[in-house]
Structure 1
């Protein structure tokens, strides 16, 4: 019988030895009444022999016969999302890698649903993002009002959700994120994960390491928190420790991490020393306040110039005045404008190979869905930058001249 622990150890290649005990009880429920416990090793949690039904893929051959490609689930060509079956940005649906290949999809958006926060609700963000009460029109289109390119020129698809068992350990749920990201990468599309919590980044990093090799992708990490805490909570990886496991296990190099907006009560001296020893690149909010956003943005862009980039964007990296619907609020973060400028600039300057926008908690958002709408605009701004790069824009600080000069000047 497999255990989640042995699966994680096998995945990351860590050899660990525990002290074992064959006692009848560890002080909790006796072993004879707790089939999930291993009396030979109290650190192991067993799983049942029965396969978890949530992870069983639907047999596509049992559905309606169709040629591979994208399909719209809606009756009308145009209209707001409250008259339509909601999808990400109103994009058509893809169900298989063959659909992505046949349509030559550029951007494959998929929902993430792992809840790994003290304050629950992040697992609902993907569905909320599909059905925001917003004025934006569908299908996905519209010009970026900073650089003047139409994101509708990108071939986009909604690739459904990566499932997550709300009752199982979230380390097991990471397998499905890894699989979905790998499927998308295998079609040469860019995976864009939406929703869930930040533990999911580990599945992104392992999939990217398999495709490109460790050390080949720069990770731009927007967050209030450094997410490299020592392992804890009885797990190898959790919402705040995924970077530490990734570095320690060789999935990534510390020097490939570029962090922006760090603040809050951590890291302390021990963790900051670990960050320096492992050569993480970090830009605390203190640096932004001291030297100004423009200077820090230019510095960050110079650090990652010429590299493939995976963007992992935690919504609490933005000040809660602009993004109140998050599970780990810390005041004095990036403004909405700074965040939008950052993702657009990265899309222009760098080859974006993957992106994710997480830690939106719709249960904590305001009545206008301010956080969700900002996440939507961040995604659109990244797509604008990607399309601008494809149209030959090379300056990350480029602005469309039509937007800079008044008609009468």
Structure 2
């Protein structure tokens, strides 16, 4: 079957394997009701799947061949209402509870960053408080957004309050842009997070940083959350809240590859709003 044909699953995977028979479950979370600027991330899972048909199973640079050692399949999308954000958050948590009951690693496609809160709730029930590698232009630690406690700019504040994260095992990479006050990033640091601003990443390889990240996060469970706006908008303009001065594509690869050796229990790519 040519790459432009067939059912549009992630990487053209079969899409019919029960989660109990998988090591890694790819899952879409098509929800953007929590976004504060341009919507469209609800189409992220479909857009990612469409582009993923160009991916082949063997990485020529790293020699990675995940399908040789892992059972991986696309398990479809979470059924989350676009009209009721809190009900959608509950549905996402319930869906991930079911997946994690089958002892899988979840690889999620958002959706706006609100979706990580219910995912982390499910992760904490399964693994206890997790470490976090968070790539983003924003820290997403607001207390409220327009009066709402649940939105795409608040998930990690809620996650700390609910005991879902191990604060001294959290690293936020690529945050930048303008803010409402000079201390906007300080709340993260007060929780024990390491905050790596984008300016610290300019003109350099991030491999040394990731050595430090691996040392900090150690051997416990780790969740990887990659907001596409962590990249400079020159590389990823299709997102709702872009900020100039972000990571380059090689730096993004260094961060992801630099997570090798960590106990990754789940990951996501969020805020993809296809143009």
After superposition, the CA RMSD in angstroms is 2.0
Aligned mate of 2:14, from 81, 92, 100: 92
Asked if 2 retains the 8 angstrom alpha-carbon contact of 1:92 and 1:156, the reply is: no
| Alpha-carbon distance in structure 1 between the residues aligned to 2:119 and 2:206 | 28
SS of residue paired to 1:264: coil
**What do the CA deviations read for 1:277-327 (whole angstroms, capped 9, x no partner)?**
221221111222387534323322322232321101000001111111111
By relative contact order (CA 8 Å, sep 6+), the higher-ranking structure is: 2
- Alignment of 1:194 onto 2:127: no
Q: Is 1:105–2:51 an aligned residue pair?
A: no
> Could you tell me how far 1:134 is from its partner in structure 2?
5.5
Say if 1:294 and 1:190 are closer, same or farther in 2 by CA, change over 3 A: closer
Report the counterpart of residue 255 of structure 1 in structure 2. Answer: 168
Alignment of 1:65-84 (within 5 A): 79-84=1-6
Higher radius of gyration, 1 or 2: 1
Judging by fraction of residues, say which structure has more helix: 1
Structure-2 residue corresponding to 1:283: 196
Q: In the alignment, what sits opposite 1:231?
A: 144
- Which residue matches 1:132? 51
Are residues 1:313 and 2:226 paired?
A: yes
SS in 1 for 2:185: helix
Q: Is the CA contact (8 Å cut-off) linking 2:211 and 2:258 kept in structure 1? A: no
Q: TM-score, normalised by structure 1?
A: 0.63
- Relative to its length, the structure with more strand (as a share) is 2
Does the alignment pair 1:158 with 2:158? no
Q: Distance in 2 between matches of 1:248 and 1:145?
A: 43
Q: Are the counterparts in 2 of residues 218 and 307 from structure 1 also a CA contact under 8 Å?
A: yes
Cα–Cα, structure 1 residues 151 and 167, in superposed 2: closer, same or farther, change >3 Å? Answer: same
| Number of equivalences | 272
> TM-score w.r.t. structure 2 length?
0.91
Aligned residue number for residue 179 of structure 1: 94
What 5-or-longer segments of structure 2 have no aligned partner? none
- Contact 2:137–2:174 under 8 Å retained in 1: yes
**Residue of structure 2 in register with 1:44 after alignment:** none
Match of 1:244 in 2: 157
